[in-house]
Amino acid sequence: EAAVTQSPRNKVAVTGGKVTLSCNQTNNHNNMYWYRQDTGHGLRLIHYSYGAGSTEKGDIPDGYKASRPSQENFSLILELATPSQTSVYFCASGGGGGAGNTLYFGEGSRLIVV
Amino acid sequence: QQKVQQSPESLSVPEGGMASFNCTSSDRNFQYFWWYRQHSGEGPKALMSIFSDGDKKEGRFTAHLNKASLHVSLHIRDSQPSDSALYFCAARAQTGFASALTFGSGTKVIVLP
């Protein structure tokens, strides 16, 4: 099964501070994604990437940047963290070969902004 | 309005019983559906996919898809305590967003011993 690893698993940040969430996948998947999970909203897509060097906006990109320096790594960056960004963030990867491909998720990064 | 809506929000089922819950899409571009399961403290894991009209069975789990109404359901037979989890319906269009999935808000299933 695909392996997706996130770090840190837990983070407390101050309002206005910079936060970087990292994701690594070892299955050579082309596509990677960042979602956030909030009660009542399910998982919502923030940014995604087709491959190294590419980043695209998802459904809720405001306040977030993304970076894909290599096939394996995909980072989510909060330049100026706000309390509304308190959430659980999930990274996922997928083969991207067609509509039938399954996404594989990491274990999540819990972020609290105080 | 969310493009993928799930019901109910939560349900309880006795051990050994049948759990059933639903998902409806309001976007006709969504033609591919998944069920994901998330145990507390973990990431979501794909349970099963369904792309064609009718039933698809995998072990104790049966998914049903009606493409005309964009309605998907999941039925868990002989529910076990390990089935207690948050179940997400997810959908995908043929194109766009690098095959990203759009998720519903989830159904919490509690299996009572």
pLDDT in tens, A44-101: 999 999 899 999 999 999 999 999 999 999 999 999 999 999 999 999 998 765 556 7
The beta-carbon neighbor of B43 closest among A50, A98, A107 is A107
Interface check A41 vs B, CB under 8 A:
yes
Residues of chain B with pLDDT under 70: 94-98
Q: State how far the Cα of A62 lies from the Cα of A41, in Å rounded to an integer.
A: 17
Q: State how far the Cα of A59 lies from the Cα of A64, in Å rounded to an integer.
A: 11
The beta-carbon neighbor of B98 closest among A35, A44, A56 is A56
> Taking CB atoms and an 8 Å cutoff, what residues of chain A touch B97?
45, 48, 56, 58
> Taking CB atoms and an 8 Å cutoff, what residues of chain A touch B24?
none
Are A90 and B43 an interchain contact pair (Cβ–Cβ within 8 Å)? Answer: yes
Q: What confidence category does residue A40 fall into, taking pLDDT thresholds of 50, 70 and 90? A: confident
Residue with tokens 């019901």: B7
Interface check A84 vs B, CB under 8 A:
no
Interface check A75 vs B, CB under 8 A:
no
Q: What confidence category does residue A109 fall into, taking pLDDT thresholds of 50, 70 and 90? A: very high
